[in-house]
Amino acid sequence: MFSLLLATVSIGLGWETGWVKEWRDAVDGLEVRETRTASLDGLEKVVVRWTWKGEKPLEKVTLAVREPVTGKSESLKPFMPGILMYGNPSNAGRRGGRVPLYAGKPGEFAIFEDHRFPMPFVLLENSENGDFTAVHTVPSPARGAKVQDLWWSAGVEATATGGDIVLLSGPVGYNRRRSVVKALQEKAMDYDETYLTLRPGDIIEKIYYIQRGKGSKARFGFEQAMSVSLDLHKPYDAERFPKMDEIVRLKRKFALSRWIEDPSRGIAGVNMYDPSFRTEIVLGWAGACEAPGWALPVLDIDRKDDVMAQKLLDFIAVAYKPTITASNGLFKVRFDFKKGEPVCNWPGKFSDPISCGQSLYTIMKSIRFARKHRDRLDPTKWEDFAFAAAENAANYHLSPSAPPFVNTGTAFYVPALMAGYELTGNEKWKRAAEKIAQEVANRYFGYQGVYWGGTLDANCEDKEGSIAAFLAFHALLKDALRRGDAADEKRWARLAEHAMMMSLSYTVVWDIPLPPGRLADNAFKSTGWTDVSAQNQHLDVFGVLITPEVRWMGRYLKDPRLEKLAEVMYRSCGQLIDEKGSQGEQIQHTNFAQHGDMSDVSKLRGGYSESWTVFWITAHFLNAAASFKEQGDEIICEKAK
């Protein structure tokens, strides 16, 4: 059965000073029909149809649907995947204007294009009692638009009785600015005249699903909405993407092409950049040049790779150990090939815990593997470097005088310290790991903060920050399982699931149609890629890094959807790899860009930075493949003959 209701529908006429001139409940000649039916799993399906029966075009029209949510407006926390996580509270007061904010105060709104949503839903969750409403929209372009490539938009508006979840036929805005989009890293861009012209006989529909429920610390509303989004979109067809072993072989080929060596100076490594640009051996986050030292021996495609791995990790251990600081355990992560010495991360910044934690974890795994295969590899020098770095880092984080860490990037130290603990039995390292992880949990498990600032160039709510937390909690969960500690298992399992779901909220679950451009030329499909952050709203392959842990969690939680999604995430990100194994980044699925002509919003969607081939892109594929193999998943790479 369905009912006919018009309470949520309104029509905007005219356009003045960058927004709708007036709103009406009805317009002569415009027939509006709204049907609501019970749908799968307790959802309510809503179809709103507008039919223009006038004899002449109806110009400067805006169509709107509003789903009201009652409650104290400042307690209604909005969650829009990849864009506005509970209002982006961690970024409030920081570097204003770079990130959308929403606190539910009078006059606030946050409305964005459909194609900006990795998971196309908008949620309002009451932080006082857990009640939530989510609207899962069927994304679509808007017919009859004045501007090029106009899409429907979705978001929230604060009201006197709480907040509205709104769906509009084009208009957008945020941070109290109407008709702007989050198009550039530092600022917004004007996006005006986003109205329609309806021609005689035109029919427009907007379809969406309403989900209502109650969140709690056992399962927040955003997690429940994500579960429904997965069920609605079913992003599990891995077979339409490149095979995993094909990706691995191409990425190994690319890694070998970046090899640089100067035996006379004892230098051996992998260049972070295209050699025509710059020559540097950079560890961790942006370079991850240590990755082949672990991943290639584990994958065991060709035993010649062991020689390269030995040289690479021996060089890292010898070159970088003198840079370890006793005060905090950080070490330099950039090696200037021309100067022949490690240098600061960039001017004025010695190093960072993100890069140190990530690279230290990979080297710890290299030691673990080499100890099991001493006939192939000698980890003596690696142990000397890694254990010294871990000891100093643990001392620093356990010190009562250590200040609170700045962002969740420090959580990347936790897997490294736990891996070192497993290798040595050093309880101090484990205590330091637990202390870091618990501080992350205290800050970000709830509505008060959302895994802030894991990246180096985007100080905001971001995917990498969530990933840092997830990998930290996951490492401690596995330790609890090894020890058979049920209480610790329960504690870390819940935190790991929460951080994983926050990380996965950046994952695209639908194929976003693209305008003409380099992505369309490649028949690019966005499903499985991950949005970067509330600030850098392009897609990249960073999510590949956690695909083994997501697959593992799928088995642990008995949720096969996660197992399937992990494979899709890995394989989908192999779409843009060329015959040399090369691949750029900054995939422009929405109106945001960091590269190319950024003067006009209509020029943004559909391209990518094909030439920006920093090595971490390759490293994450190799690292994930090696992790898959170690945990027994099917990564098939036949040995070279």
Q: Are residues 229 and 89 in the same domain?
A: yes
Residue closest to 451 by CA, chosen among 466, 472, 439, 463: 466
The 3-state secondary structure of 363-388, one letter per residue: HHHHHHHHHHCCCCCCCHHHHHHHHH
Beta strands, E only, 394-504: none
Tally of domains within the chain: 2
Structure tokens at 149: 């490539």
Residue 383 lies in a domain: yes
- How many alpha carbons lie under 13 Å from residue 407 in its C-beta half-sphere? 26
Residue 610 lies in a domain: no
Other beta carbons within 10 angstroms of residue 98's beta carbon come to 22
Q: Are residues 160 and 272 in the same domain?
A: no
Q: Are residues 189 and 324 in the same domain?
A: no
pLDDT of res. 429: 98
Q: Give the integer Cα–Cα distance in Å for 213 and 209.
A: 13
Residue 593 lies in a domain: no
Q: Give the integer Cα–Cα distance in Å for 440 and 480.
A: 18
Quick check: 47 and 34 in contact, CB under 8 A?
Answer: yes
Q: Give the integer Cα–Cα distance in Å for 553 and 509.
A: 19
Q: Give the integer Cα–Cα distance in Å for 389 and 372.
A: 22
Q: Are residues 109 and 225 in the same domain?
A: yes
**Residue 64: strand, helix, or coil:** strand
Q: Give the integer Cα–Cα distance in Å for 314 and 267.
A: 10
Sequence-distant (6+) residues with CB within 8 A of 348 are none
- How many alpha carbons lie under 13 Å from residue 638 in its C-beta half-sphere? 2
- The number of angstroms, rounded, from the C-alpha of 274 to the middle of its chain's C-alpha atoms is 25
Phi/psi of residue 371, each to 5°?
A: -65, -30
Q: Give the integer Cα–Cα distance in Å for 67 and 563.
A: 34
Whats the size of the chain, residue-wise? 641
Task: Point out the domain boundary residue: 233, 250, 282.
Answer: 233
Q: Are residues 29 and 98 in the same domain?
A: yes
Structure tokens at 28: 């002569």
Other beta carbons within 10 angstroms of residue 636's beta carbon come to 10
Quick check: 69 and 78 in contact, CB under 8 A?
Answer: no
Other beta carbons within 10 angstroms of residue 475's beta carbon come to 24
**Residue 41: strand, helix, or coil:** helix
Helix 427-444 to helix 463-483 angle (10° resolution) is 130
Q: Give the integer Cα–Cα distance in Å for 394 and 399.
A: 8
CATH code, 117: 2.70.98
**Residue 119: strand, helix, or coil:** coil
Q: Are residues 229 and 274 in the same domain?
A: no
Structure tokens at 119: 């998971």
Strand partners, 22: 13
Residue 584 lies in a domain: no
Q: Are residues 215 and 289 in the same domain?
A: no
Sequence-distant (6+) residues with CB within 8 A of 599 are none
Q: Give the integer Cα–Cα distance in Å for 282 and 271.
A: 8
Structure tokens at 449: 């903060």
Q: Are residues 392 and 339 in the same domain?
A: yes
pLDDT of res. 635: 64
Q: Give the integer Cα–Cα distance in Å for 229 and 214.
A: 17
- The number of angstroms, rounded, from the C-alpha of 202 to the middle of its chain's C-alpha atoms is 38
Q: Give the integer Cα–Cα distance in Å for 595 and 290.
A: 27
**Residue 545: strand, helix, or coil:** helix
Structure tokens at 593: 């860009």
Query: What domain range is 214 assigned to?
Result: 3-233
Residue 109 lies in a domain: yes
The CA-CA-CA angle for residues 489, 391, 297, to 5°, reads 75
- Enter the DSSP assignment of 15: E
**Residue 594: strand, helix, or coil:** coil
pLDDT of res. 350: 78
Q: Give the integer Cα–Cα distance in Å for 126 and 291.
A: 43
Quick check: 352 and 285 in contact, CB under 8 A?
Answer: yes
- Enter the DSSP assignment of 596: S
Task: Point out the domain boundary residue: 358, 381, 403.
Answer: 403
Residue closest to 515 by CA, chosen among 147, 229, 193, 171: 147
Q: Are residues 163 and 297 in the same domain?
A: no
Residue 434 lies in a domain: no
Quick check: 58 and 52 in contact, CB under 8 A?
Answer: yes
**Residue 17: strand, helix, or coil:** coil
Instruction: Going from the first residue of the chain to its last (641 residues), give the mean pLDDT of each consecutive group of 10, the final group possibly shorter.
Output: 52 96 96 89 93 97 97 97 93 78 96 98 97 97 94 97 97 96 91 97 97 96 98 96 95 97 94 93 94 96 96 97 93 93 81 93 98 98 98 96 86 97 98 97 90 70 92 98 98 98 98 95 97 94 97 97 97 96 95 89 92 95 96 62 36
Quick check: 588 and 570 in contact, CB under 8 A?
Answer: no
Structure tokens at 431: 């205590």
Task: Point out the domain boundary residue: 403, 421, 453.
Answer: 403
Residue closest to 538 by CA, chosen among 592, 485, 583: 592
Residue 202 lies in a domain: yes
Quick check: 129 and 100 in contact, CB under 8 A?
Answer: no
Quick check: 33 and 88 in contact, CB under 8 A?
Answer: no
Q: Give the integer Cα–Cα distance in Å for 223 and 175.
A: 26
Please state whether beta strands 530-531 and 189-190 pair in parallel, antiparallel, or not at all (unpaired): unpaired
Element (H, E) at 19: strand 19-24
Quick check: 367 and 386 in contact, CB under 8 A?
Answer: yes
Q: Are residues 229 and 330 in the same domain?
A: no
**Burial group, residue 61, by CB count within 10 angstroms (0-12, 13-18, 19+):** buried
Q: Are residues 114 and 179 in the same domain?
A: yes
Residue 60 lies in a domain: yes
What does the DSSP assignment read for 220-255? Answer: -HHHHHHHHHHHHH----GGGS--HHHHHHHHHHHH
Sequence-distant (6+) residues with CB within 8 A of 441 are 469, 473, 495
Q: Are residues 168 and 110 in the same domain?
A: yes
User: For tokens 């690292």, what's the residue?
Assistant: 623
**The one-letter amino acid at 371:** R
**Residue 614: strand, helix, or coil:** coil
